């Protein structure tokens, strides 16, 4: 167990970031685990435990700050559940190189979102029937992404709420954390039934992520984000490049996990 305690600070770093921007922290955890030779299903399922822990801590903190739209969060969260079940099942059959390439594209989209998140806010608008229909499909898709990659699905939910529904970023990221409670918990259950996670590793990640979620929710109130956005975006893009390179060359660090 001692030689795996490094998973706690990894979970903490992912938890702080995930809580602040509403992505769940998997964009940090999954690349690191993948680089270290974890199989795709182990990386995704272990990361989902951290995403769930992060979502619990963040939701608790954001609830006290009164920044969550509960009705919308409940609806989108429940709509994501069927997708998470499908994503966990499909992940059983994906090869490592394909997973790396696909996740590289997810990281590029994540970096674009992080860098541009303050620019995508729009004025509050009425939610049309067409938008609600689109939201149903988007929630199902986000559920698949959440469980397949172990990232929580916030990369879909936050832009959906901000651009499509006119919600402010100050409320969208916290509401996304509530949605991730449903997406990550259902994904954790299905991955566990399929025997994908290592419960010691996922537990250590969850401990760090829970603490990071509390810290990130507090920091989100008054932190100046621009420097953080640039730094995180650059790191994520470098990670994406490495994943693409490894997927083409078959490189990985095998540590016997």
Residue 257 lies in a domain: no
Residue 123 lies in a domain: yes
pTM: 0.79
Residue 255 lies in a domain: no
Residue 224 lies in a domain: yes
d(CA 165, CA 224): 25
How confident is the model over 94-119, as pLDDT tens digits? 787 888 888 888 888 877 776 776 66
Residue 256 lies in a domain: no
How confident is the model over 135-145, as pLDDT tens digits? 888 889 888 98
Q: Domain count of the chain?
A: 1
Residue 254 lies in a domain: no
Residue 76 lies in a domain: yes
pLDDT at position 256, please?
Answer: 44
Domain around 143: 2-249
Residue 204 lies in a domain: yes
How confident is the model over 23-77, as pLDDT tens digits? 667 888 988 898 888 888 999 999 999 889 888 888 888 888 888 889 888 999 9
């Amino acid at each position: 167990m001692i030689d795996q305690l490094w998973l706690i600070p990894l979970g903490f770093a992912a938890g702080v970031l995930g809580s602040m921007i509403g992505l769940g922290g998997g964009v940090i955890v999954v690349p690191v685990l993948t680089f270290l030779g974890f199989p795709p299903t182990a990386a995704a399922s272990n990361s989902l435990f951290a995403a769930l822990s992060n979502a619990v801590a963040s939701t608790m903190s954001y609830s006290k700050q009164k920044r969550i739209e509960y009705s919308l969060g409940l609806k989108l969260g429940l709509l994501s559940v069927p997708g998470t079940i499908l994503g966990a099942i499909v992940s059983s059959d994906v090869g490592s190189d394909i997973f790396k390439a696909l996740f590289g594209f997810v990281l590029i989209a994540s970096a674009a979102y992080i860098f541009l998140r303050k620019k995508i806010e729009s004025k509050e608008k009425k939610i049309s029937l067409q938008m609600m229909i689109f939201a149903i499909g988007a929630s199902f898709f986000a559920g698949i992404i959440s469980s397949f990659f172990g990232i929580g699905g916030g990369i879909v939910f936050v832009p959906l709420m901000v651009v499509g529904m006119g919600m402010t970023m100050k409320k969208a990221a916290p509401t996304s954390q509530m949605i991730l409670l449903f997406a990550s918990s259902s994904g954790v259950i299905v991955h566990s039934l399929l025997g994908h996670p290592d419960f010691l590793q996922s537990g250590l990640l969850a401990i760090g992520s829970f603490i990071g979620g509390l810290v990130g929710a507090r920091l989100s109130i008054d932190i100046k984000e621009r420097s953080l956005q640039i730094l995180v975006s650059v790191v994520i893009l470098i990670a994406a490049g490495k994943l693409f390179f490894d997927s083409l060359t078959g490189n990985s660090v095998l540590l016997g996990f």
